[in-house]
Amino acid sequence: MSDLKPVVEALLFGADGPLRCERLAEVLEVERSVVIEALRALEADYAAQPRGIFLQEVAGGYQLRTRPEFADYLRRLGRTRPFRFSRPALETLAIVAYRQPITRAEIEYLRGVDSGSVLKTLLDKHLVRILGKKDVPGKPAIYGTTREFLELFGLADLAALPTLKEFSELAEGDDLDESAAVLPEVSVGD
């Protein structure tokens, strides 16, 4: 195939989640470098003209996403809804993201309260997963974030998390509702 750009675009459009370069190369039966070239060309196309979608590297792969500024229209269509985090859920998720692998006891020590029900909710939403057991008496489960976590927050990988300094600068500039943090551009299925 001389121009893989439309084929790569179709594969990204039809995929349930982010696609890794290796998977695209396997499906297309080409070298990884050829796929990367097609992805870069698609990124340039989306950046050159105002469009409702863009190509984003997320969760170790690539995904077509709707622009955040159009979230209200999508909600009106009935296909998405804002994802709300309670303050305890957001605290727990942040602790897991920055301190993983981490045990429930370590999370509870940092938060100062029982976190069992919050952890269960995050497990049910597939934002946190059990990575294994810690090699200490009692063999407690150790937790870490998932690919869904990376997808939800639009992160390519954990290295893309803001540093604690950047996070505190963001918090100083925001007037967050104390009861819940809202991510209006995110759509989450049931």
Between these two residues, 181 and 124, which has the higher pLDDT value? 124
What tens digit of pLDDT does each residue of 84-137 get? 788 899 999 999 999 999 999 999 999 999 999 999 999 999 999 999 999 989
What tens digit of pLDDT does each residue of 4-16 get? 899 999 999 998 8
What sign has the CA pseudo-torsion 155, 97, 85, 175?
Answer: negative
Q: So what's the pLDDT on residue 187?
A: 33
What tens digit of pLDDT does each residue of 42-87 get? 999 998 888 899 999 888 899 998 888 988 888 778 755 566 788 8
> Residue 180: helix, strand or coil by DSSP?
strand
Q: So what's the pLDDT on residue 60?
A: 87
Indicate the burial class of 61 (C-beta count within 10 angstroms; 0-12, 13-18, 19 or more).
buried
* pLDDT tier for residue 181 given thresholds of 50, 70 and 90: very low
Say yes or no to pLDDT of 35 above 90: yes
Please provide the DSSP assignment of 146-169 as one string. -HHHHHHHT-SSGGGSPPHHHHHH
Domains of the chain are 5-66 (1.10.10.10), 83-183 (1.10.10.10)
Whether residue 50 is preceded by a cis peptide bond, meaning omega within 30 degrees of 0, is: no
